DNA sequence: GAGGCAAGTAAAGCTGGTTTACTTGGAGTG
DNA sequence: CACTCCAAGTAAACCAGCTTTACTTGCCTC
């Protein structure tokens, strides 16, 4: 009887690895009281981390329409993770910045993810894996410009 | 100026690799005339490949409700990729089996994916990467039973 | 001060699922 | 044999998270 894990297609292995790591990551964050956030919110927090963005800029980073970004910002504002301010460049622009609550989430999420990576490191050569993934990404994206946003594709 | 690809988080690298490989795979299948199928349909075809399944069994394989599986089967039946037959075990059961059209798709998709892997093999050590992903999956799933279905998590 | 552009907002629509509720064929059981 | 029960399948309403379409508004330019 053969081990099904051993005969993985590359594509299936990538998808399932991502799913399992992300699911465990989310499970731990939920246990820490962050059930009100989805993965995409953490992704948005990273984009907003350094000084904030306008909603249209955030939309570009997330690969969604500005309306979808606006809805997400409304939700995050209600939940106390972001606030809107007048934009220094004026116009109708508004600068969306993280609150302290979101900054704390970023710190906790970062530590949680690194702890998970350390645990995996006992069985898997994480730096080597990361290098191979970086090479894979560079190969696929070669000459096609900057990296696209992470989006659901399944 | 540092290369952003080099400092990838493991999680981000897994997600983006999956996205890029899958997007390229889908792009090639679309170019071959399969614009009417999403990735999940190919995943369903693989589950149905060896003798077919009931819709409830397929639902379990895909990790969705039996109603969602039923809707997908309706759609695939309309498009000529599956057909329903009386089930040998009787009851209300109906056996969903692939048509020749779907079997041809499986052959084409397999060849397309392997061609893509061969191309990537010029720059990336695909067997080594596959092994590391298998180890990662086994580590995360250790003692938690069989592998879960591949599902959208983003 | 007229027009245009880009940011933002509003509302409707679409997709792909879930939830709730029902139908139905074939057991098992007295 | 009649009754009950179970599991498969189906139907319809609902829902989340987006997109599309359409509008508002602040500033810049001429």
* Helices B39-48 and B66-78: angle between axes, nearest 10 degrees: 100
ipTM of the complex: 0.93
Name residues 19-58 of chain B within 8 A of A (Cβ): 19-26, 39-40
- Alpha-carbon distance values, B58 to B63, B68, B90 (Å): 8, 10, 17
- Alpha-carbon distance values, A142 to A77, A147, B2, B20 (Å): 38, 10, 17, 11
Q: What's the pLDDT at A1? A: 45
Collect all residues with Cβ–Cβ distance below 8 Å to B8 and sequence separation of at least 6: A130, A133, A134, A137, B16
- The distance (Å) linking the CA of A71 with the C1' of C3 is 31
Nearest DNA or RNA nucleotide to A84 (CA to C1'): C8
Query: Is A139 an interface residue toward B (CB < 8 Å)?
Result: yes
Domain A9-141 listed as CATH 1.10.10.10:
yes
- Alpha-carbon distance values, B17 to A17, B55, B86, B129 (Å): 11, 31, 42, 12
Q: What's the pLDDT at A3? A: 46
Phi, psi of A54 (to 5 degrees): -80, 165
* The two structure tokens encoding residue B126: 């695909």
Q: How many CB atoms lie within 10 A of CB B152?
A: 12
* The two structure tokens encoding residue A127: 């730096």
Residues in chain B with pLDDT < 70? 1-8
Could you list the mean pLDDT of each consecutive 10-residue stretch along chain A, which spans 154 residues?
59 98 97 97 98 98 98 98 96 97 97 96 97 97 94 92
**Sequence ranges of the domains in chain A:** 9-141
**CATH code for B7-140?**
1.10.10.10
């Amino acid at each position: 009887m053969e081990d099904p894990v051993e005969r993985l297609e590359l594509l299936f292995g990538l998808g399932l690895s991502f799913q399992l790591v992300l699911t465990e990551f989310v499970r731990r964050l939920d246990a820490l009281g962050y059930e009100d956030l989805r993965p995409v919110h953490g992704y948005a927090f990273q984009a907003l981390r350094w000084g904030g963005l306008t909603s249209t800029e955030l939309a570009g980073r997330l690969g969604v329409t500005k309306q979808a970004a606006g809805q997400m910002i409304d939700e995050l504002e209600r939940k106390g993770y972001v606030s809107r301010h007048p934009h220094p460049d004026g116009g109708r622009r508004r600068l969306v910045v993280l609150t302290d609550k979101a900054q704390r989430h970023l710190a906790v999420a970062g530590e949680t993810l690194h702890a998970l990576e350390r645990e995996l490191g006992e069985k898997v050569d994480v730096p080597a894996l990361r290098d191979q993934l970086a090479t894979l990404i560079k190969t696929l994206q070669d000459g096609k410009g900057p990296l696209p946003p992470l989006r659901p594709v399944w």
